[in-house]
Amino acid sequence: MIHGSWRALAWIGIAELCALSLWFSASVIAPELIQAWKLNSSAEAWLSASVPIGFVLGAFISSYFGIADRFNPRKVLAVSAFLGALLNISLILVDHAFFGILLRILTGVSLAGVYPVAVKILSQWFPKKRGLAMGILIASLTLGSSLPHFIVMFFSSLNWQFVIICSSILALLAAIIVNWVVEDAPVKTKKLPFSFQLIKKVVANKPVMLANYGYFGHMWELYAMWTWFPIFLTASFTSYSPGISPWFIALSSFVTIGIAGGMGCVIGGVVSDKIGRANLTIISMLISGICCILIGFTFGESIWFTLILSIIWGMSVIADSAQFSAAVSEVAEVEYVGTALTFQMCIGFLITIFSINLVPIIQRVIGWEWVFACLAIGPILGIVSMIRYKQHELNQVKAAAGYYK
């Protein structure tokens, strides 16, 4: 069982890494798409928000109908990755902004069947001590999300279609792995018929919602940082050294988001199993919140000073992500854990749409030096929520020990 669970984790992690390359596959080639599709400023905003919008729609539909609980989650993940690959590669056939953005929204819908469902599958393989396992899974997601930066770094001389083709092939590989290599967890789960009560049960579960509120604060910061940080680095590095190589900027973005983020996920998973989910999330959000405020002071300053703080931010901003999902998978009733996880991500990614689009608006007013400070609101509110979650856990332990009559 133990050997099988880690083998499943390895294959699911590889599949997640490949499939999540779809997320930023168009973002890293946005300048080329803007030119090819003749996008105006309004359409550009839609392009940046298209995948999160699609993810929210897909997650809402999935959670509303309990798809992750009613069907074999491995099959759901495989089909979703396959559809995502088809939708993504269709971009190379499009020459109009409307259809391009529509395809990106539908790609986001397909990804709602990849990430949340992978979390559920892993929770079946790791019924206990799943912090490290979840951390490795989110590390794969982080590396996968940053893969387009890696592709651009080495193949910037090729046309933008090459990035799309590469990410589509990776997503197709993910579907193949999940469908033919990954096995179902050796646990029996009750397949519920359709019920309108599933989401109501999630909302009524107090510890689940406290973990959700912490996750919502985390998400306010995370994807806005991932989306705009490469642009911040470009502006900062070229301000300090106008002749700096675009290759070095792409490498810095990949190291900050992908490498440092992946390391943060794994370290966070190990530490959370030792000190508890709540403590890890509080520490992580405290560090990332401080980085939100301090990073602006490095703008246009020493490149290495900026990179050091960037790496710290890249590690801390994602180190807690898996633990919110792990917390929900542990405190939610087993019959609706899939719906609970999908609901959590649905609302969380809805929040990212607002923060992603807020950053450029504020940046035009106060500049890069201060714009990321607005993201610190999320970690602050998340810390408050997780302190309450921790107190609820302590009360439950005391009650079980007979402290309360």
Whole-number Å distance between alpha carbons of 119 and 121: 6
Looking at the domain assignment, is residue 405 inside a domain? no
Whole-number Å distance between alpha carbons of 363 and 360: 5
Q: With a cut of 80, say whether residue 403 has pLDDT above it.
A: no
Question: Residue 217: its pLDDT value, please?
Answer: 97
In tens, the pLDDT along 333-374 reads 877 776 777 788 888 999 999 999 899 899 999 999 999 999
Higher pLDDT, 340 or 72: 72
Question: Residue 190: its pLDDT value, please?
Answer: 54
Whole-number Å distance between alpha carbons of 225 and 317: 9
pLDDT class of 400 with cuts at 50, 70, 90: low
Looking at the domain assignment, is residue 135 inside a domain? yes
Stretch 318-324: mean pLDDT: 91
Are the CB atoms for 174 and 365 separated by under 8 Å?
no
Angle between helices 206-240 and 303-319 (to 10 degrees): 170
Domain residue limits at 377: 2-181+202-400
Whole-number Å distance between alpha carbons of 237 and 187: 52
Looking at the domain assignment, is residue 186 inside a domain? no
Question: Residue 301: its pLDDT value, please?
Answer: 93
Question: Residue 59: its pLDDT value, please?
Answer: 83
Amino acid identity of residue 172, one-letter, is L
Counting runs of H as helices and runs of E as strands, what totals does the chain give? Answer: 19, 0
Looking at the domain assignment, is residue 160 inside a domain? yes
If you average pLDDT over every residue of the chain, what do you get?
88
pLDDT class of 31 with cuts at 50, 70, 90: confident
Lowest-pLDDT choice from 40-44, 147-151, 273-277: 40-44
Question: Residue 401: its pLDDT value, please?
Answer: 63
Whole-number Å distance between alpha carbons of 133 and 125: 9
Looking at the domain assignment, is residue 371 inside a domain? yes
Q: Distance of CA 42 to CAs 48, 97, 213, 226, 355, Å? A: 10, 11, 31, 21, 16
Count of domains observed in the chain: 1
Outline where 90-205 has alpha helix (H). Answer: 97-111, 115-125, 131-155, 160-180, 197-204
pLDDT class of 77 with cuts at 50, 70, 90: very high
In tens, the pLDDT along 174-226 reads 999 999 999 988 876 555 444 556 788 888 889 999 999 999 999 999 999 99
Looking at the domain assignment, is residue 197 inside a domain? no
Nearest to 163 by CA among 21, 47, 15: 21
Burial of 234 (0-12, 13-18, 19+ CB in 10 A): middle
Q: Which CATH number fits the domain that encloses residue 388?
A: 1.20.1250.20
Q: With a cut of 80, say whether residue 283 has pLDDT above it.
A: yes
Higher pLDDT, 244 or 88: 88
Question: Residue 84: its pLDDT value, please?
Answer: 97
Looking at the domain assignment, is residue 194 inside a domain? no
Question: Residue 43: its pLDDT value, please?
Answer: 78
Could you give the angle at the alpha carbon of 51 between the alpha carbons of 308 and 328, nearest 5°?
Answer: 75
Looking at the domain assignment, is residue 32 inside a domain? yes
